[in-house]
Amino acid sequence: MRNIVRGAFAAIAMGTAAVSAYAADLPSIKAPPPPPPVIEPFHPFQVRLKVGGVIPTEGSAYITDRGTGSYLAVPGINPWPQTALNTLGYSGGPTTPFFGANTNISSSIVPMIDVAYYLTKNWAIEAICCVTPHHVTGVGPLQGASVIKTWVFPPSLMLQYHFTNFGAFQPYVGVGVNFTAFWGTRAGNQTQPIAAINPALATAVPGFTAWTSAYSASITPSWGVVGQAGIDYMFNDRWGVNVDVKYIMMEPTAHVWAVANTTPVSVGSGCFNCGPVFVPLNLAVKINPVVISGGLTYRFGADWGVPRLF
């Protein structure tokens, strides 16, 4: 009996060894490796070509007298230029409103270009530029009068943060500084009839008619803060479309010379037909535009070996 048991164990051991050897000779079956992650190239440079609407949020300018003006007086009859201006209700002297008038500034639609450099996939520096025409017209007593025509060059430099966890949708916000220069500035040279009111009597000066026009103008450059929000929708790592909104603080000062030619009239001993009234004016222009734009986005430079921050 003992020999039978020993033989059975020996047979089992030999069978197990044979099966193990056979299994070792079989080829191993391994699971396929996972696909490599898709990594889109990082393009540090970006250009956007867009069309934008420049909409002044205030679009007004309060007109004030910046000097006594020059009234061609007749000695012994009307020697005081400012007296004539006060009597006619034009001005109460320097810094006072000129005839209670103000202005309106036109909107415009212009082509725009943005150029950006990405420090990382999230942080970028962008330069924005366009050239836009604007027309300053009178309202109130100067309703419809052409005061100033000018071209505006408002480059801005922005620091932006881009959100990259929404796939093809890539919103961003930015803040920066704007410098606005004005060129081609010229006065409207449009004659506008205005009335004259005697401030003491609050009545029209009888027999008096005046025609006024701006004949010389200039606008000082201005600095301001810019706020920005927008979104890119990228079709691939290079091409996309963009929508963007900016608010620009833009409040320059304009200098205008105006002239009023009058018809003959006498009030008391004053002579108000002795020549034209020349008045230097200040226009505190509040433009503060909202710029709404849209266009194409193109990114490039992944293969240029440009060093970047991470």
How do the domains of the chain map onto residue ranges? 44-300
pLDDT in tens, 116-161: 999 999 999 999 988 888 888 776 666 667 778 888 898 999 999 9
pLDDT at residue 228, as a whole number: 97
Please provide residue 18's backbone torsions phi and psi, each rounded to the nearest 5 degrees.
-65, -45
Least confident of 190-199, 257-266, 289-298: 190-199
| Residues recorded for the chain | 310
In CATH terms, 44-300 corresponds, of 2.40.160.20, 2.60.40.10, 3.90.1150.10, 3.60.20.30, to 2.40.160.20
Tokens of 127: 């330069």
DSSP string spanning 26-37? SPP--PPPPPPP
Contact 237/41 with Cβ under 8 angstroms? yes
Separation of alpha carbons 243 and 239, rounded Å = 14
User: Is 122 in a helix, a strand, or coil?
Assistant: coil
Tokens of 42: 């990082």
Statement: residue 309 has pLDDT above 80: no
**94 confidence band (pLDDT: 50, 70, 90):** low
Statement: residue 229 has pLDDT above 90: yes
**90 confidence band (pLDDT: 50, 70, 90):** low
pLDDT in tens, 12-28: 555 555 545 544 554 55
**pTM strictly above 0.75:** no
Question: How far does Cα 305 stand from its chain's mean position?
Answer: 34
